[in-house]
């Protein structure tokens, strides 16, 4: 059986869903191919369940940070109810609601494994083995996402190791958890399961957490984790793991000669593109590779404008919100090209330039950390005449009112030549909510002299913006 659509999208994660929706809004037809659950990793095994697990502990901590409320919060978290609340958000992987949304938007859903079978052709193998061919009049959009990478640890592939999937969907709290890694997934997972009562040990190969961030972010998260009772071991790697067939306990050997015993091991050391079985070789591309794209998300290794890649697999900005942003850019470009107009001409609303220099990130550890734009180091390496400005958020009146012993840090990276902010990092309570102001400032290239007139309300934590500008000298 063969069907024809204007656009065929492989992958119904956040990027694929948005791309298809925008395509249909432009008056074109679209089909989405999905082998697993509509909604993708984010909805069921990453962003949504992880934040559902993290929020109860953060809420309890917020109440305990204010005298008078602190005395009313005396118990531990109810793990059973926390896990049940998470399941309400994820529907335990049931994608009926998401599939109904696609249907209501006028998007065809084709279930099965999709792979390219030549230019503008996609073969879909269903669960029963039947093969269906889809043809795209205009374009094929790839949104396969990524999958976790396992570090080279002897025995790790034989113990039933956790990845982000098991870490966000487990039905019980492990008594002892060893986490291999020092990035966002490792830090958030350690925070979540420690707040639910697990004894957590973090094995970090590097000498700091979150090494791609400003140093203050990793330092604050380290302080927060250790304050919660997490054991953080820097400069240490696991070398061998073995699960006991009777007790099910896991023994972890490390390169400093230590031995740990735990119930589960989480590997959180990175991800790779899910492009190994995508049929890339049928159009002259290499299976398993990342998919470099231009600012319209067109795959640059091919001639013509028929193959696009959105989301994590193009390796530009592997975050859900940026995947959706790319999808909007991609759909607009396809529609413009279909109408015979150049998609890259002028200052267009679909230009994906923001995923180079204005990518917001929010991490829900304790304390929260958030950033957007360039770090000081990255800005200097890019040849920008940089001046960094820092301020303790603790010293803002609104922060002291918000929580007793409030602790937070703010850092701006300023391009002195243009007089604009190119980077911002925040730590502390509400950092994830405060970061959007910095995103607007950076994307809008608001001159500091103009930003000075954006007066923050008193007494709010946002008054830190006034203090940063005063520290700059305005």
* Rounded Cα gap, residues 312 and 359, in angstroms: 13
Q: What is the model's pLDDT at position 355?
A: 67
- Single out the residue in 201, 235, 268 at which a domain terminates: 268
Q: What is the model's pLDDT at position 352?
A: 47
Angle at 292 (CA atoms; ends 288, 296), nearest 5 degrees: 135
The pLDDT confidence band at residue 353, using thresholds 50, 70 and 90, is low
Residue 53 lies in a domain: no
The pLDDT confidence band at residue 342, using thresholds 50, 70 and 90, is confident
The pLDDT confidence band at residue 349, using thresholds 50, 70 and 90, is very low
Residues 130 and 164 reside in one and the same domain: no
Q: What is the model's pLDDT at position 344?
A: 57
Residues 126 and 22 reside in one and the same domain: yes
* Domain of 347, in residue numbers: 2-39+95-147+272-354
Is the predicted pLDDT of residue 5 greater than 70, yes or no?
A: yes
Residue 84 lies in a domain: no
CATH code of the domain containing 170: 3.50.50.60
Residue 44 lies in a domain: no
- Single out the residue in 240, 268, 296 at which a domain terminates: 268
Q: For residue range 246-256, what is the model confidence (pLDDT) as tens digits?
A: 999 999 999 99
Residues 259 and 280 reside in one and the same domain: no
Residues 136 and 190 reside in one and the same domain: no
Residue 246 lies in a domain: yes
* Rounded Cα gap, residues 463 and 470, in angstroms: 11
> What is the rounded end-to-end Cα distance, in angstroms, of the chain?
68
Residues 242 and 312 reside in one and the same domain: no
Q: For residue range 179-199, what is the model confidence (pLDDT) as tens digits?
A: 999 999 999 999 999 999 999
Q: Which two tokens stand for residue 194?
A: 């420690």
Residue 211: Cβ-neighbour burial (10 angstroms; 0-12, 13-18, 19+): middle
Residue 429 lies in a domain: yes
Rg from Cα positions in the chain: 24
Is the predicted pLDDT of residue 343 greater than 90, yes or no?
A: no
What 3 state SS string does the chain have?
A: CEEEEEEEEECCCHHHHHHHHHHHHCCCCEEEEECCCCCHHHHHHCHHHHHHHHHHHHHHHHHHCCCCCHHHCCCCCCHHHHHHHHHHHHHHHCCHHHHHHHHHCCCEEEECEEEECCCCEEEEECCCCCEEEEEEEEEEEECCCEEECCCCCECHHHCCCECHHHHHHCCCCCCEEEEECCCHHHHHHHHHHHHCCCEEEEEECCCCCCCCCCHHHHHHHHHHHHHHCCEEEECCCEEEEEECCCCCCEEEEECCCCEEEECEEEECCCEEECCCCCCHHHHCCCCCCCCCECCCCEECCCCCCCEEECCHHHCCCCCHHHHHHHHHHHHHHHHHHHCCCCCCCCCCCCCCCHHHHCCCEEECCCCCEEEEECCHHHHHHCCCCEEEEEEEHHHCHHHHHHCCCCCCEEEEEEECCCCEEEEEEEECCCHHHHHHHHHHHHHCCCEHHHHCCCCCCCCCHHHHHHHHHHHHCC
Average pLDDT over residues 5-12: 98
Q: Smallest Cα–Cα separation from 83: which of 57, 107, 65, 59? A: 57
Q: How many domains does the chain have?
A: 3
Residues 276 and 264 reside in one and the same domain: no
Q: What is the model's pLDDT at position 347?
A: 40
Q: Which two tokens stand for residue 427?
A: 């730590």
Q: For residue range 186-239, what is the model confidence (pLDDT) as tens digits?
A: 999 999 999 999 999 999 999 999 999 999 999 999 999 999 999 999 999 999
Average pLDDT score over the chain: 95
* Rounded Cα gap, residues 295 and 227, in angstroms: 43
| Cβ contact 145:13 at 8 Å | yes
In sequence order, the β-bridge partners of residue 267 are 180
- Single out the residue in 296, 329, 354 at which a domain terminates: 354
Q: Smallest Cα–Cα separation from 424: which of 470, 371, 380, 387? A: 371
Q: Smallest Cα–Cα separation from 313: which of 271, 261, 283? A: 271
Cα separations in angstroms, 155 against 150, 234, 237, 258, 305:
11, 22, 14, 17, 45
CATH code of the domain containing 412: 3.30.390.30
Residues 222 and 303 reside in one and the same domain: no
* Rounded Cα gap, residues 423 and 416, in angstroms: 12
Residues 201 and 222 reside in one and the same domain: yes
| Cβ contact 436:422 at 8 Å | no
Residues 263 and 282 reside in one and the same domain: no
Is the predicted pLDDT of residue 371 greater than 90, yes or no?
A: yes
Residues 373 and 244 reside in one and the same domain: no
Residue 224 lies in a domain: yes
Residues 287 and 335 reside in one and the same domain: yes
- Tokens 């502990």 sit on residue: 57
Residues 143 and 280 reside in one and the same domain: yes
* Rounded Cα gap, residues 432 and 58, in angstroms: 13
Residue 60 lies in a domain: no
Q: For residue range 278-334, what is the model confidence (pLDDT) as tens digits?
A: 999 999 999 999 999 999 999 999 988 999 999 999 999 999 999 999 999 999 999
* Rounded Cα gap, residues 383 and 167, in angstroms: 40
| Cβ contact 44:50 at 8 Å | no
Cβ contacts of 185 within 8 Å, gap of 6 or more: 164, 167, 268
Average pLDDT over residues 174-179: 98
Q: Smallest Cα–Cα separation from 139: which of 19, 271, 307, 17? A: 307
């Amino acid at each position: 059986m063969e069907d024809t659509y204007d656009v065929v999208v492989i992958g119904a994660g956040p990027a694929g869903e948005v791309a298809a929706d925008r395509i249909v809004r432009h008056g074109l037809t679209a089909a989405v191919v999905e082998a697993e659950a509509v909604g993708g990793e984010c909805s069921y095994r990453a962003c949504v369940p992880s934040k559902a697990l993290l929020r109860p502990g953060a809420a309890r901590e917020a109440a305990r940070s204010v005298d008078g409320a602190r005395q009313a919060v005396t118990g531990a978290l109810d793990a059973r109810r926390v896990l049940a609340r998470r399941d309400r958000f994820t529907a335990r992987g049931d994608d009926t609601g998401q599939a109904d949304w696609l249907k209501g938007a006028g998007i065809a859903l084709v279930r099965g494994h999709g792979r390219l079978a030549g230019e503008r052709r996609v073969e879909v193998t269903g669960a029963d083995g039947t093969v269906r061919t889809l043809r795209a009049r205009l374009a094929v959009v790839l949104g396969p996402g990524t999958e976790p990478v396992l570090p080279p640890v002897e025995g790790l592939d034989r113990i039933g190791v956790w990845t982000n999937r098991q870490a966000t969907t487990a039905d019980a709290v492990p008594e002892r958890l060893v986490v291999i890694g020092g990035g966002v997934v490792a830090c958030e997972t350690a925070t979540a399961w420690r707040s639910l009562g697990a004894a957590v040990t973090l094995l970090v190969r590097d000498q700091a957490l979150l090494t791609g961030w400003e140093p203050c972010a990793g330092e604050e998260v380290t302080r927060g984790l250790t304050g919660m009772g997490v054991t953080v071991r820097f400069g240490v790697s696991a070398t061998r793991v073995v699960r006991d067939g009777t007790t099910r306990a896991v023994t972890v050997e490390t390169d400093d000669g230590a031995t740990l015993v735990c119930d589960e091991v989480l590997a959180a050391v990175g991800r790779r593109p899910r492009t190994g079985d995508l049929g890339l070789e049928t159009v002259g591309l290499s299976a398993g590779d990342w998919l470099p794209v231009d600012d319209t998300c067109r795959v640059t290794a091919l001639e013509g404008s028929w193959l696009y890649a959105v989301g994590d697999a193009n390796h530009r900005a592997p975050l859900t919100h940026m995947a959706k942003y790319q999808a909007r850019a991609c759909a607009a470009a396809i529609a413009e090209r279909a109408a015979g107009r150049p998609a890259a001409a002028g200052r267009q609303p679909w230009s994906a330039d923001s995923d180079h220099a204005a990518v917001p990130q929010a991490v829900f550890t304790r304390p929260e950390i958030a950033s957007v734009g360039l770090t000081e180091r990255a800005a200097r390496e890019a040849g920008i005449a940089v001046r960094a400005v820092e301020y303790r958020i603790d010293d803002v009146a609104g922060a002291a009112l918000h929580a007793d012993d409030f602790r937070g840090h703010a850092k701006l990276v300023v391009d002195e030549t243009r007089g604009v902010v190119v980077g911002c990092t925040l730590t502390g309570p509400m950092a994830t909510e405060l970061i959007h102001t910095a995103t607007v400032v950076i994307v809008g290239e608001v001159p500091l002299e103009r930003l000075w007139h954006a007066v923050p309300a008193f007494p709010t934590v946002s008054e830190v913006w006034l203090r940063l500008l005063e520290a700059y000298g305005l």
